[in-house]
Structures are given as structure tokens and as C-alpha cells.
Amino acid sequence: MNAREAILARVRAAARTGRVPTGHAGSPKTSAQEERSAKALASRSEDLLTHFSRELAALGVDCHVESTADAVRARIEGLARDKTILSWDPDRLPYEVGSILPAAATGAAGRSVQAGAALGVTGCHAAIAETGSLVVLSGPGTPRTASLLPPEHLCVVRRADLYASMGEFFRVRAADIAAASCCTFITGPSRTADIELTLTLGVHGPGKVVVIVGP
Amino acid sequence: MNPSTSFPHRVSDALADAQLRTALDRATSQLGSRRILALATLDEADAVRDRARAARLKAIANLGAYLERFEAKLVSNGAQVHWAQTPADANAIITEIARRTSTRVAVKSKSMVSEETHLNDALERSGVEVVETDLGEYIVQLRRDRPSHIIAPIVHLTRQDIGRVMSERLSVPYTDDTRELAAIARTRLRQEFLRADMGISGANFGVVETGTICLVTNEGNGRMVTTMPRVHVALMGIEKLVETMDELDSCLKVLARSATGQKVTVYTTLVRAPRGAHDSDGPEELHVVFLDNGRSRMLAGETAEILACIRCGACLNACPVYRTIGGHAYGDTYPGPVGAIVTPGLRGLHPWGDLAHASSLCGACREVCPVRLDIPAMLLSLRNEARSDQPRLMKAAMRMFAWTATKPRLYRAAMKMMRSVLAGRSSEGWIRRLPGMAAGWTSSRDLRAPASRSFQDQWRNRRRSAAR
């Protein structure tokens, strides 16, 4: 009997002893219920944005809310000036942000070039109001490195991509998640408290995260 | 830590370490209060905990079917699945993957299971350089130490300790500034990420319906090891499953809150497949190794419920025993109340059954457990199991006691005699040393001197004076 068969046989025999207590999920919140509460929050996108901004502030993330695509680009121009940039492919960035970053390296660049960038510029596939999380799906033109290697990460969020909760995102975007090799939730800057429980930012990932919310 | 010494010896060593006591006191109380504040930010926290518990219990009750479904999904996503019965099997599988992929350097994000199998030693013996990348684990590796807390591995060290080991092992000027220490580690480990051939991770959860490995890290090393090297190996215990993404959501809601007091860990990574044909990064090969190592045996025993643990570490911070002796005294990979159940389960009651006594059964662990595991009940059942190893004389004495205790007159007479014997041995209300067979009791703890009069005596007197 190989390892797989042996383990499965033992696990099945164990299950027959009935030693595992049964959990009572109490009154499990149904998807419908949760969707209602999500909708209640989403009924005014103003609320989602307010909540999202508040969470970002608590995480130490700068958040700029802009009302036009021009304003988004102007804001990024100011923040990115004189910095070497690693970004998603231009056609993957919203609000034609790629047009103002002609010198930016992309995932196609060599590893040392990517690792040397001072600023990572990305869009995101969703943002979660409840936790202030940015969701990036890895795929063609959306390299994982851009939100990971540079010491600073600038993320452009479209207001329509705000979701109330992680659970809502899982339900609504299940197909997108299932198509990506990797789905990452980014909630604030990289941090550790391993040394004497003292908070230190930027251990491996970016120590600074800036969010720009467009119309 | 020296695992070859007995548990009482390791406890004595820990108790004598004043620095350890201070550090533990500060860390565990801070983590404990952060947990309370974080749970307060969760709507219907109790209901979410119930859902997380139900999800995990369902997974271990249906483990056979779920493992097969999970495996099928992983394979259809493009991952390669391996099954390991023992730590040696798991190490051999991973060593073979390293050999086949010409791996020279492997970077690791935190994995308790790899501590369980001593994977680093195995890889190094076969010529692979292994680098721990969680800051705490990196320092543990530099010191050739062992982690002492599930989520805060170097809770036993001061920043001066860390400064010293970094300056010695990395040849950098000494500093005990926390930021500078973290910056040194970032620079060093960044080079390792860039040159590593293989990334090794654990798995916080495996999601059956999607074939997803969920990893959470605050530092970002979990993302690094699944992004930069060309091979990713996830080593996971067979029990770490949830069926659906919705259930994963419930578990994640309570995991970070219970562990560090965050609403959610900074990076939650859902690894589904190796890099796509048109992706510019991500591993070319994805391997998932399932490890049994005694888990299927535990599933058939009295402590099956512990397999639903999500390894948040909250029970450590709440436990008066852990808070006093720290993680190393437990002698193996998993410390604290959860370790006192998992270690005897994985490694046998000899000699690990002793750990079940490292508890006052106060129930604080059960109170804080995000999936409401009945840890005290499991500790009691382990004590009960370990009883069959007691010496014959001890068993006879216990039978004698049981017999006496069912005869009120005899019991009262015996207690009266004991009180007068013990009174002669006590000083300041404590008995520090007993002779003969009873010496075992006082070798690791003091005995409270009995009250001069029994409760029943006092009660009778009260009734009498009240009637007057």
C-alpha cells in the first residue's frame, strides 16, 4: 500500500470511531443574509469609501480621493516624480495612468531592474472596505513583484471596485479568483513585531503604501 | 532548550530565568489585550467563531473525502501532490524535489510543520542551503535556537540578544535599535530571495472546493517565497482544510484577531496554481506535500478535536502555565495548551504525556480559543490515558483512597490523622518536603498545609452557634 492509500485508509477508519465532535454553527449566517448587510453598506458607495478611507488611515496608509481621471494622473505625477518605477503593464492600469509613466519598468524587465525600483505602481482588482485591503490577482501584465519588491507601493483603486467585505468579494468574483494563479490581499504596509513586540514597518514588502481612489 | 532533559527539569530552568519571565509577562499580556480589542471590532464575533469551529470540525470529520477532492483540484490546477506518512518521508520527498530541480538555495517562510520534521537539517545534509525568512525564525536560525511561541518565535529574546547574534553571525556593527535590526535583516534576506531556487512554505488553510493554499504573513515573506523562486513547495498537515471559500472567510476573520489583534494579517496569499503561460513571475512548479505523522492516529483518539486548531497562539497567551515557563520548557515544536495535547498525540505518551499536567485546568484556553476547542477536557483525557503507566504501588494507593472516600466515617478519621501528621511538617502554611513515597509530590511543588479543622467541623460549629 502506498503512502496515499495508507493515510486515507487510516483517516477513514478514524472517522468511523466518531471521535470528532460535531460543531453547531449556531445560526449560520446565510450568503443571502450577508449579501443584504453588504448591500446595506453598499447602497451608498459614499459609505463604502468612507469606511475604506478610515481603515486605511488606521493602517497608516495615505489615501487620496480624486474625482476625475486627470486629477488621478496629476496626483501620481507628483508622487512619482524622480523615482525609478516598476509598474503593471500600461494597459492594465486604470485612468490611462501608464501614459504618464513612460520610463517605468514592467514585469518583463530583468530581475535586478525590478528589484532596484523605488516605487511600485499598480492597479487592483478589488478593494475591501471592511479591512482596508487591496486585492491583486496575478496574471499577464499584472506581476506580483510590482506590489512587493519596491520599498513603496502606490495603488490606484477604481471606486466601482470597492466591496464591503472579503466574503462578498469571494462570492461575487469567484470566477476571477479561479482564473488567477495567485490572489493577494494587501492590508497596509509590511510589518513585524518579532523584536520585543515593537512594531517595525517594511521588513520584506513595502514599508509605505499609498492609495489613490479615482472616480 | 535541551529536549533530552525531563519536563520538570526544563520547567525549573525556565523558572530560574528572570529575563524570560519578564519578557513572557509583557508579551503575553499585550497580545492578550490586543486580542480582546480586535474581537470587539467584529460584528457577531460569537457567531463567527461558531462558524469557524463548525467549518474546521466538518473538515476533520470528512477528512478522507476532502483530501481526495482537494488533491484532485490541486492537480487539475497544475500542482503536484505528495503524501508523507512520517517526517522522514516528507523530508525525503522535498529533498528529492530539490535534487531534481537542481536547487542550491531554499528560502522558507514560517512553517511549524517543517519544524516538526526538522526539514532544514535534512535539506542541509543533502547540500541545500536553507534560509528562514520570517524575521523571528531567521534569528532563531542564526542562534541555532528553537522558536518559543507559535506566532512570536523569539519572544524569549531581548533586542540586545538579537543585536549580539546579528553582529556575530553577520559581521555587522552591533546595534540594539529595533528598526536597524529589521533593516539589516531586510537587506540580507532580499539577496536570498533573489538568488533562491526553491521557496518553502507551510499552509494556514487548504480550500477544498478551489484547490487553494492560503498563507498569511505580516512581513511579506510568504509572498516572497511564492513569487521569486522557480519552485514552490507547500508542506502542510493533512488536517488543515476547509471546504469552501466562505468558510475560509470565517476562519480568517478570527485567526488574525486571535493571534496578533489585527483585523486581518497584512498579506493573505491565495496560491492556486504555478505561474500562467503569460505571467512574468511566480513559480514554474508548485508542489504540495501532505504530512500525516500521527494525525490520523489522533483522529481516532480522545483528542481528535485538537486537529481543528488553527494555530493562532491565543491559548499560549492566556495560559498561566505558558506565561510562567515559556515555550521551550514544553520540549517540542508546539508549546502551550495546544502543544500539551498535540505533542503527546504526534510523538506518543512516553514521555510527552507529562505535558498534560502542565495545566491548572482553569479553562482560560478554552475561553479564548477562536474555534472553541475544549482543551481542558482533552488534557484530562490524556491524563487518564497516561494513568495506565503509573507504578503499581501508586495504583494500589489510589484504589485505597477511592475505597476510603466512599466511607464517610473512615474518611473523616483518616483525614483527621493526616491533618495532625502534616501539621507537624508545615512551616508558614506550606509543606516543602515529604518523606518516602510522598516525596514525588513535593519534588516539583509545595503542598499547602491543611487547615487545622475540616470544613465539616467548621460547618457543624457554625450551625451550632447559629442555633443558639
Helices and strands in chain A, H and E counts: 7, 11
Instruction: Give the nearest partner residue to A197 out of B30, B190, B218, using CB atoms.
Output: B30
CB B139 within 8 A of CB B149: no
Is some CB atom of chain A closer than 8 A to the CB atom of B304? yes
Is a pLDDT exceeding 90 seen at residue B56? yes
Q: What are the tens digits of pLDDT across the range B295-323?
A: 999 999 999 999 999 999 999 999 999 99
Cα B356 from chain centroid (whole Å) = 14
Can you tell me the mean pLDDT for B231-240?
A: 98
Q: Which of A12-26, A85-99, A182-196 has the lowest mean pLDDT?
A: A12-26
Q: What are the tens digits of pLDDT across the range A171-207?
A: 999 999 999 999 999 999 999 999 999 999 999 999 9
Is a pLDDT exceeding 50 seen at residue B157? yes
Can you tell me the mean pLDDT for B88-92?
A: 98
Q: Which domains does chain A have, with CATH numbers?
A: 36-188+195-214 (3.40.50.10420)
Can you tell me the mean pLDDT for A99-113?
A: 95
According to CATH, where is 1.10.1060 located in chain B? 15-36+307-389
According to CATH, where is 3.40.50.10420 located in chain B? 42-293
Report pLDDT for A33.
57
Report pLDDT for B445.
79
State which amino acid sits at residue B71: E
Place of cell 506581476: A143
- Compute the C-alpha angle B21/B24/B28, nearest 5°: 145
| Contact yes or no for A15 and B63 at CB 8 A | yes
Report pLDDT for A120.
98
Is a pLDDT exceeding 80 seen at residue B352? yes
What CATH number was assigned to the domain covering residues B15-36+307-389?
A: 1.10.1060
Strand B241-242 relative to strand A85-87, pairing: unpaired
Is a pLDDT exceeding 90 seen at residue B238? yes
Q: What are the tens digits of pLDDT across the range B32-46?
A: 999 999 999 998 999
Is a pLDDT exceeding 80 seen at residue A142? yes
Cα B465 from Cα B460, distance rounded (Å) = 9
Report pLDDT for B468.
74
Candidates B74, B78, B106; CA nearest to B91 is: B106
State which amino acid sits at residue B266: V
Is a pLDDT exceeding 80 seen at residue A31? no
State which amino acid sits at residue A164: A
| Contact yes or no for A185 and B276 at CB 8 A | no
Instruction: Share the mean pLDDT of chain B.
Output: 93
Query: How far is B459 from chain A, CA to nearest CA, in Å?
Result: 42
CB B83 within 8 A of CB A3: yes
| Cis-peptide into B370, omega within 30 deg | no
Going by pLDDT thresholds of 50, 70 and 90, the confidence category of residue B438 is: confident
**Cα nearest neighbour of A16 on chain B:** B300
Instruction: Give the nearest partner residue to A139 out of B186, B246, B276, using CB atoms.
Output: B276
Query: How far is B400 from chain A, CA to nearest CA, in Å?
Result: 33
Is some CB atom of chain B closer than 8 A to the CB atom of A124? no
Instruction: Give the nearest partner residue to A19 out of B210, B248, B301, using CB atoms.
Output: B301
The Cα diameter of chain A in Å comes to 67
Q: What are the tens digits of pLDDT across the range A118-131?
A: 999 999 999 999 99
- DSSP H or E segment with residue A158: strand A152-158
Is some CB atom of chain A closer than 8 A to the CB atom of B45? no
Half-sphere exposure of A211 (CA within 13 A, CB side): 31
Report pLDDT for B1.
43
Share of residues in chain B with pLDDT > 70 (%): 99
| Contact yes or no for B68 and A8 at CB 8 A | yes
Buried b (16+ CB within 10 A) or exposed e, A154-186: bbbbbbebbbbbbbbbbbebeeebbebbbbbbb
- Compute the C-alpha angle B188/B194/B200, nearest 5°: 90
Share of residues in chain A with pLDDT > 90 (%): 83
Provide, as residue numbers in chain A, all residues whose Cβ is less than 8 Å from the Cβ of B260: 193
Half-sphere exposure of B253 (CA within 13 A, CB side): 27
Query: Which residues of B34-176 form beta strands (DSSP E)?
Result: 80-84, 105-108, 129-132
> Residue B451 corresponds to which cell in the numbers above?
487547615
Query: Which residues of chain A form beta strands (DSSP E)?
Result: 62-65, 85-87, 119-122, 126-128, 133-137, 152-158, 162-163, 182-186, 191-192, 200-201, 208-214
| Distances from the Cα of B75 to the Cα of A1, B70, B387, angstroms | 21, 9, 45
Can you tell me the mean pLDDT for A37-46?
A: 57
Cα B158 from chain centroid (whole Å) = 22
Annotation: CATH topology of B42-293: Rossmann fold (3.40.50)
Share of residues in chain B with pLDDT > 90 (%): 79
Q: Which residues contact B273 (CB under 8 A, 6 or more apart)?
A: A181, A182, B77, B78, B79, B286
| Contact yes or no for B135 and A196 at CB 8 A | no
Is a pLDDT exceeding 50 seen at residue A50? yes
Going by pLDDT thresholds of 50, 70 and 90, the confidence category of residue A1 is: confident
> Residue B371 corresponds to which cell in the numbers above?
474555534
Report pLDDT for B450.
87
Can you tell me the mean pLDDT for B169-178?
A: 95
Provide, as residue numbers in chain B, all residues whose Cβ is less than 8 Å from the Cβ of A31: 246
Cα B218 from Cα B215, distance rounded (Å) = 10
Q: ipTM more than 0.90?
A: yes
Provide, as residue numbers in chain B, all residues whose Cβ is less than 8 Å from the Cβ of A164: none
Half-sphere exposure of B109 (CA within 13 A, CB side): 29
> Residue B208 corresponds to which cell in the numbers above?
477544498
Is a pLDDT exceeding 90 seen at residue B436? no
Can you tell me the mean pLDDT for A157-168?
A: 96
Is a pLDDT exceeding 50 seen at residue A166? yes
Report pLDDT for B185.
96
Query: How far is A98 from chain B, CA to nearest CA, in Å?
Result: 18
Report pLDDT for B440.
78
Report pLDDT for B365.
97
Report pLDDT for B392.
82
